[in-house]
Structure 1
C-alpha cells in the first residue's frame, strides 16, 4: 500500500466543502516551504469523501487559490473519492481482527443519554475535543442482535473497539513532534478518544481511517497540520500500528484565529483567500498576514 521515497514527502490535504481561508494558507505555505527547504516533494490531496458537502466548484477554488499563492504540486492529485475500495479493505482487515463493531445510537440518543447521566452532577467522559465518548451499549451486543438490527434496516456506523485494539498493541505509543507545541517524543493516548468512528452510513470512511491510509499510500514522511489535530495524532498512530503502516514525523503548527480568539471557519468570507485577493492583496501580503 505504501509508496516510500528517498526524499521527504509533505502534503496539504484540504476538503472541498468551502473556500480556503488564512488558516489553510498558513498550512499550505508551511508544507510547501518545508518541502522545498528539505529538498523534498510537495503533494496536494483532495479529501472529498463527504459527497454531501464537497463540490467540484470548491475543488476548483482550491486549485485557483493555491496557484495564486504561487504553490505548485505533483500530479496526479489524489482524491479520496477515487479510493473508497482501499478504505473498505482496511476496515475489513480491522473487522477480521475483531476490532470493529456496528454502532446504532444516533447523535440525539447519545446526547440524551449524556444529559440524563449528568443531571445529578456526574460527569460523562469526554474526548480531547470535548465531545462525549460513545456509550458502550453497542460494543457489548451479541452477534445475533447486531445482525438482526442491521437486517431491520437500522442505520449504523462502524466503530473501533478501543480497549481491544490497545490489547493487541500492548505497549505505549508515541509520535515524533517538531511543531509549535511540545517537541520530541510525545506520549500518545488513543484511549482518550474512546471508540472512534471508522465508517458511517453517509461516509464510507472516517477522517481518522482515510487520512491514515492516504498518508501511507502516498509515502508521506512529514505531516504538517494545525494544532487542532495534535491530540488526534494518537488515534492515527494506533491505526498505523494496527495496520502495519509507517510512522511519519509530525509538525503541528499554530492556528490563525479571529478577533474573538476562535479558529477560523470556511463560512467567514472576510478571511477567505479569494476575498482577500479580490480586495487587492498580493501573495506576499498573505504571507505577512499569517506570519511568514
Structure 2
C-alpha cells in the first residue's frame, strides 16, 4: 500500500526589514501544518533595491529562536532568474504576454478618463485598462513591464473559470472565479517588473512547483491573488497545491502589521526578555 503523501509547506519572507509578530504567526503556522512532512524556508529577494543580507541573517536568527528549522541550502529567488525567464518564454510562445510601457501615472490617467467610469480594484490595485495590449514582444524594451493577456489565457485554455480548494476558508468548497470576473476584476497582471525580470505572481508559482510545495500557507489578504496563481499553474502545466489562507495579525487599531511596524519586531521582544512561548501566546498560538 502506498504511504501517505508528505505535506511540504514553506515560509517565504523578503529580507527588507525585521520580522514582526505577523511573520512569526505565518512561519509557525506553516511549520505546524507540515506536521511530519517538511517545512522549507525560501528567500524572496527579487527586489534587490530593498533586500539586504543583514536582514536575511536577522530573520533566520529570529526563526531559529522561535524553534524553527529547515533543510539547506535555502532557495533564493535572486538565483532563479533563468527559471522565471523560461516560464515567460513559454507564455510568450503561446502568445499570452505583451510588453507594457505604462507608468503608474499613465494608468491612473487612463482610468480617470470620463468614458472609463469607476476603475475596478484587483489584488495589485486598479485593474489595468489594456493600453499596451497587442504590442508584440519583439518590441519589448528594458523599461517595459511584461503583462499577461488574461482574455487570451482563458481562451487558450478553453475554460470559463479558475478555482482552488482552501482548507481554512470553507474547506469543503472549491472557490471559483469566472473568467469574465477575472478579466474585469483582476485583469492583465504584471509577470515581470521593470529591472527585476519577474514578479511575485510568476516567481511564487514557479518556485512552489520547483520545491514540490503541497500546501501553500499565507494570509487572507492574498486570497484573491491565488486565482492568478492557479491560472498561471494551468498555463504552465504545473501542479496546483492546496491552500490555507490564515487570519492576519493586526495592531490595536485593527491594521494589518507591516515591516514598518518596528515596535512589534520580534527582535525587540527578544531584547525585552520575551520567550518563544510568549510570542506564541501573543499571536494566539498556545500549542
TM-score, structure 2 normalization: 0.91
Separation in structure 1 between the aligned mates of residue 60 and residue 279 of structure 2, nearest angstrom: 17
The Cα shift of 1:6 comes to 4.2
The Cα shift of 1:83 comes to 0.8
What is the aligned partner in structure 2 of residue 158 from structure 1? 146
Consecutive unaligned residues in structure 2, runs of 5 or more: none
Which of 73, 78, 83 pairs up with 1:76?
Answer: 73
Alignment size in residue pairs: 276
What is the aligned partner in structure 1 of residue 175 from structure 2? 186
What is the aligned partner in structure 1 of residue 133 from structure 2? 139
Deviations for 1:47-69, whole angstroms, at most 9, x for unmatched residues?
01111111101100110110110
Separation in structure 1 between the aligned mates of residue 113 and residue 265 of structure 2, nearest angstrom: 41
Deviations for 1:167-216, whole angstroms, at most 9, x for unmatched residues?
1122232101111x333211135432100001022211100000000000
Separation in structure 2 between the aligned mates of residue 86 and residue 128 of structure 1, nearest angstrom: 24
CA contact (8 A) 2:123 2:222 kept: no
Q: Calculate the aligned-residue CA RMSD, in Å.
A: 1.8
What is the aligned partner in structure 2 of residue 250 from structure 1? 243
Q: Are residue 126 (structure 1) and residue 125 (structure 2) matched?
A: no
Separation in structure 1 between the aligned mates of residue 131 and residue 252 of structure 2, nearest angstrom: 42
The Cα shift of 1:128 comes to 4.5
Q: Are residue 50 (structure 1) and residue 79 (structure 2) matched?
A: no
Aligned pairs for 1:160-175 within 5 A: 160-171=148-159, 172-175=161-164
Separation in structure 2 between the aligned mates of residue 10 and residue 128 of structure 1, nearest angstrom: 23
**3-state secondary structure, aligned to 1:139:** coil
CA contact (8 A) 1:17 1:53 kept: yes
TM-score, structure 1 normalization: 0.90
**3-state secondary structure, aligned to 1:116:** coil
What is the aligned partner in structure 1 of residue 267 from structure 2? 274
Moved segments of 4+, more than 4 Å: none
